[in-house]
Structure 1
Amino acid sequence: MAYTNLRVHLIWSTKDRKPLIADEFQEELYAYIGGILRKRKHSLLAAGGVEDHIHLLVSMHPAQPISDCVRDIKSNSSV
């Protein structure tokens, strides 16, 4: 029986590092991203950031490449 434990620290910024992520929306944004990840069999272990960038610690399912995971999060959580 194989066991895989893939944990990835993802970081990205807003376009042009503009301060677009208001404090009052951060928790809602992280919860939304957690839902995106759960639908793809990943787990959001931790999330944080400031108005111009976010950090995510993700436990990845081995079937999906990291690049696809990032694409899915960014395309589904952008404004």
Structure 2
Amino acid sequence: MANTYSQIDLQFVFSPKFRASLITEEWEIELYKYISGITARNKHKMLAINGMPDHMHFLVGFGTHQSVADFMQDVKADSSQWINNNKF
């Protein structure tokens, strides 16, 4: 069918290993911006993002061109590398 558009809104929740309270106020906003950038790079739309020191939630307008598992692998790997590179 021509001009068909599909989007699914998905909420993701993830946490540091052992749900440790590692996300501090000093850099959490930068982390949210970084994850929003990863989302945009994967051609999805960040609708909302927030969290606590031991976990984070984000709501994504998810396109149908990528699997959920591949997207989460990108987000978790890239954000973890960013955190380690910045020595947070």
SS in 2 for 1:75: helix
Of the two, which has the highest radius of gyration? 2
Gaps of 5+ in 2: none
Q: Is 1:28 aligned to 2:49, yes or no? A: no
Tell me which amino acid in the other structure corresponds to 2:20: K
* Equivalent residues in 2 for 1:2-13, closer than 5 Å: 2-13=4-15
TM (norm. structure 2) is 0.85
Tell me which amino acid in the other structure corresponds to 2:60: V
Q: Deviations over 1:3-26 (max 9, x none)?
A: 212110000111011111001211
Dislocated runs of 4+, deviation >6 Å: none
More strand by share: 1
Query: Is the CA contact 1:9–1:55 (under 8 Å) kept in the aligned structure 2?
Result: yes
Q: Is 1:53 aligned to 2:62, yes or no? A: no
TM (norm. structure 1) is 0.94
- Per the alignment, residue 64 of structure 1 pairs with 66
- Per the alignment, residue 41 of structure 2 pairs with 39
In 2: Cα distance, 1:28 partner to 1:42 partner: 19
Q: Deviations over 1:17-55 (max 9, x none)?
A: 111100121111010001111111011110011001000
Aligned identity (percent) is 38
In 1: Cα distance, 2:25 partner to 2:33 partner: 14
